[in-house]
């Protein structure tokens, strides 16, 4: 038992197998390449966005730190200025004597001058104010301040007092008193930096407040938003409160981001994806080590990854184009391989018997291909076909000669059989003294013998065969007289058909020799016609008919020979009907006709025939 594994997937043709196989491989390679390049560029794009946001955060944070550093420097210069302390004490009358109005104005003027010198000609800060614990204020900058204020109402008071001399930077705030003095500063916000300054005995002498215009502090953030409106910048103070943008909507978003940072969803120096109403955003947070203020840069994730989307579209288009070109190349290559093989298949299918025998027909050919091995295969097939054609012709000629030899051998068995029968008939006529009849019969027998002994390798015409039958029946008529009657009715159209010699006459002879064991009269009928492209000759009599057992044995012999193709042993006895059948089958193949049965009333009927063309 041979094991044959089952084929799960099978394509109809070699071309489809090659095409789908290589097309799938190309598609897989392109898919892997697409995934690799997409992952690589996605990581690159993410790094690029993260670095851009980090750089912007760093730039804005450094600028804010620089402004706070300037404000802190100014405050420290005020705190450590002895002239400021002395004149402040004179202004307050701290020495125990009242300085008077003139003295106060003189001390305040000195403080103005000192503060202006600290602020500098380029006005590094917007305003510097000095507050006493009782609420008296002296200030310089955008305006000269002199008077009394409610110190506890200041936003920075409690925090600065708690820090005990360390700086405190508050959130941007508006100054109504300043807006009243200068309409141009309406809706202007200032960032305050405040600290406590003490005497050498660590007694609190007052507070220093440094104000800087918020637009100056957050100028880099404003510039970044102006250059790229898609970029969002938020600033949180050291306590995580929104400091920038100043508008209410921006403050709400800054507060939301501060909440995310507090929850750990927005980690410093690491870009994160954050939810938003208009779609997800990517944001980066950076906290200054100097001011402890935080800068958050955010932008729409869709916009941030726009280069990735554009690259994906271009990569997809390029991949599809490469896939189409790859599939086209695969199709052409598969076709280049499959077409010659298809032609070879057609050539093999065209190797029929007619093409192998008929030298006039052109042999099947395979066109040239672009593959050298296929060309060599085509040349090998042409050589093989030529050798096969020569061998086939030789075999056909050999079989033809063998068939002719077998036909002649079978025909030779009929000759002595006929001679013996007719000599016996003449002997019987001589006993009866039928001299004239013997003479006539001898002439007919002589003609019959000439016919029987003549060369007829290629057969005889049916007309010649019927003529011999008629001479034989005349001989028998001479012998039996009125006891025998016969009838010959054959279409003239079939008289020229070539048939094996001695196929009809032995049937007539068998009717007389074996069928007329009953009392006369005896009748023999020979009829011929063409039906369905076959010539048919029927010989019938009114004799005793066929014995079923010999007839069954005859049919068995015919079937055995048809299966094996081997001739039965040749001999003179019992070869009449079998001899005729063998020669008909050898000439006509499966298209021969042989029927043997009883007649219409009684007697025997034998019908033989074959193709009209005889081939």
**Least confident stretch, 165-179, 286-300, 349-363:** 349-363
List the one residue out of 301, 371, 313 whose CA is nearest residue 338. Answer: 371
pLDDT confidence of residue 285: 95
Has residue 296 got a pLDDT over 90? yes
Asked whether the beta carbons of 192 and 155 are under 8 A apart, the reply is yes
pLDDT confidence of residue 487: 94
CATH class (in words) of the domain with range 80-217 = alpha beta
**Tokens, residue 26:** 């190309």
Once rounded to an integer, what is the mean pLDDT over residues 598-614?
A: 78
Between 406 and 192, the higher pLDDT residue: 192
467: DSSP letter = H
Q: How far is CA 368 from the centre of its chain?
A: 29
499-543 pLDDT, tens digit per residue, is 888 889 888 888 887 777 788 888 999 999 999 889 999 999 888
Asked whether the beta carbons of 47 and 270 are under 8 A apart, the reply is no
Has residue 407 got a pLDDT over 70? no
Q: What are the residue ranges spanned by the domains of the chain? A: 80-217, 395-611
Q: What percent of the chain has pLDDT over 90?
A: 25
pLDDT confidence of residue 604: 87
Q: How far is CA 367 from the centre of its chain?
A: 30
**Tokens, residue 185:** 């500063």
List the one residue out of 415, 608, 371, 406 whose CA is nearest residue 497. Answer: 608
Has residue 469 got a pLDDT over 80? yes
- 430/435 Cα distance (integer angstroms): 7
The model's pTM: 0.56
Residue 393 — very low, low, confident or very high, per pLDDT cuts 50/70/90? low
In terms of CATH architecture, what is 395-611?
2-Layer Sandwich (3.30)
Residue 444 — very low, low, confident or very high, per pLDDT cuts 50/70/90? confident
Range ranked top by mean pLDDT from 233-242, 272-281, 304-313, 330-339: 233-242
**Least confident stretch, 159-168, 224-233, 236-245, 413-422:** 413-422
Task: Work out the mean pLDDT of the chain and round it to a whole number.
Answer: 80
Asked whether the beta carbons of 261 and 294 are under 8 A apart, the reply is yes
Residues of the chain by 3-state class (helix, strand, coil), percent to 5: 55, 20, 25
135-190 pLDDT, tens digit per residue, is 888 989 888 888 888 999 899 999 999 998 899 999 999 888 777 777 777 888 99
Asked whether the beta carbons of 450 and 510 are under 8 A apart, the reply is no
Q: What percent of the chain has pLDDT over 70?
A: 78
Find where tokens 């016919």 sit.
451
Alpha helix segments (H runs only) across 535-601: 548-564, 576-588
Has residue 354 got a pLDDT over 60? no
pLDDT confidence of residue 3: 47
């Amino acid at each position: 038992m041979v094991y044959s594994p089952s084929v799960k997937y099978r394509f109809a043709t070699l071309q489809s197998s090659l095409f789908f196989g290589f097309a799938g491989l190309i598609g897989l390679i392109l898919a892997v390449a697409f995934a690799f390049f997409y992952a690589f560029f996605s990581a690159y794009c993410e790094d690029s966005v993260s670095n851009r946001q980090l750089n912007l955060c760093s730039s804005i944070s450094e600028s804010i730190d620089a402004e706070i550093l300037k404000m802190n420097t100014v405050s420290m210069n005020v705190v450590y200025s002895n002239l400021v302390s002395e004149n402040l004490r004179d202004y307050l009358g701290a020495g125990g004597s009242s300085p008077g109005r003139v003295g106060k104005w003189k001390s305040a003027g000195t403080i103005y001058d000192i503060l202006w010198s600290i602020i500098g000609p380029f006005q590094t800060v917007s305003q510097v104010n000095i507050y006493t614990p009782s609420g008296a204020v002296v200030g310089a900058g955008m305006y000269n301040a002199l008077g009394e204020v409610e110190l506890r109402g200041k936003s920075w008071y409690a925090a600065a007092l708690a820090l005990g001399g360390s700086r405190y930077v508050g959130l941007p705030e508006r100054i109504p008193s300043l807006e009243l003095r200068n309409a141009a500063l309406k809706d202007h916000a200032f960032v305050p930096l405040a600290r406590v300054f003490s005497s050498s005995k660590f007694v609190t002498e007052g507070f220093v407040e440094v104000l800087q215009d918020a637009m100056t502090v957050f100028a880099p953030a404003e510039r970044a938003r102006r250059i790229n409106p898609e970029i969002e910048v938020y600033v949180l103070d050291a306590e995580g409160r929104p400091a920038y943008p100043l508008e209410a909507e921006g403050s709400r978003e800054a507060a939301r981001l501060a909440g995310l940072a507090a929850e750990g969803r927005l980690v410093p120096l690491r870009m994160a994806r954050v939810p938003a109403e208009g779609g997800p955003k990517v944001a980066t947070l950076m906290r200054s080590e100097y001011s402890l203020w935080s800068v958050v840069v955010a932008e729409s994730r869709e916009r941030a990854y726009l280069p990735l989307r554009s690259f994906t579209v271009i990569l997809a288009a390029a991949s599809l184009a490469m896939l189409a070109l790859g599939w086209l190349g695969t199709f052409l290559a598969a076709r280049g391989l499959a077409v010659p093989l298809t032609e070879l298949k057609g050539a093999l299918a065209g190797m029929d018997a007619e093409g192998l025998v008929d030298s006039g027909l052109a042999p099947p050919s395979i066109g040239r291909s672009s593959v050298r091995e296929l060309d060599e295969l085509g040349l090998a097939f042409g050589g093989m076909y030529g050798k096969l054609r020569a061998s086939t012709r030789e075999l056909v000629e050999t079989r033809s000669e063998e068939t002719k030899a077998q036909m002649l051998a079978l025909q030779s068995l009929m000759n002595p059989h006929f001679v013996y029968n007719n000599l016996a008939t003449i002997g019987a006529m001589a006993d009866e003294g039928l001299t004239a009849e013997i003479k006539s019969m001898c002439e007919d027998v002589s003609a019959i013998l000439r016919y029987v002994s003549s060369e007829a390798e290629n057969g005889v015409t049916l007309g010649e065969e019927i003529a011999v039958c008629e001479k034989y029946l005349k001989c028998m008529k001479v012998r039996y007289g009125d006891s025998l009657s016969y009838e010959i009715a054959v279409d003239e159209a079939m008289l020229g058909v070539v048939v094996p010699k001695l196929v009809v006459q032995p049937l007539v002879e068998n009717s007389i020799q074996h069928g007329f064991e009953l009392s006369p009269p005896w009748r023999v009928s020979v009829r011929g016609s063409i039906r369905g492209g076959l010539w048919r000759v029927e010989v019938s009599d009114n004799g005793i008919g066929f014995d079923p057992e010999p007839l069954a044995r005859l049919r068995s012999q015919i079937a055995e020979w048809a299966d094996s193709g081997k001739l039965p042993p040749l001999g003179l006895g019992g070869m009449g009907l079998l001899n005729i059948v063998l020669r008909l089958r050898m000439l006509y193949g499966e298209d021969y006709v042989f029927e043997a049965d009883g007649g219409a009333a009684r007697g025997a009927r034998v019908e033989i025939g074959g193709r009209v063309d005889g081939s």
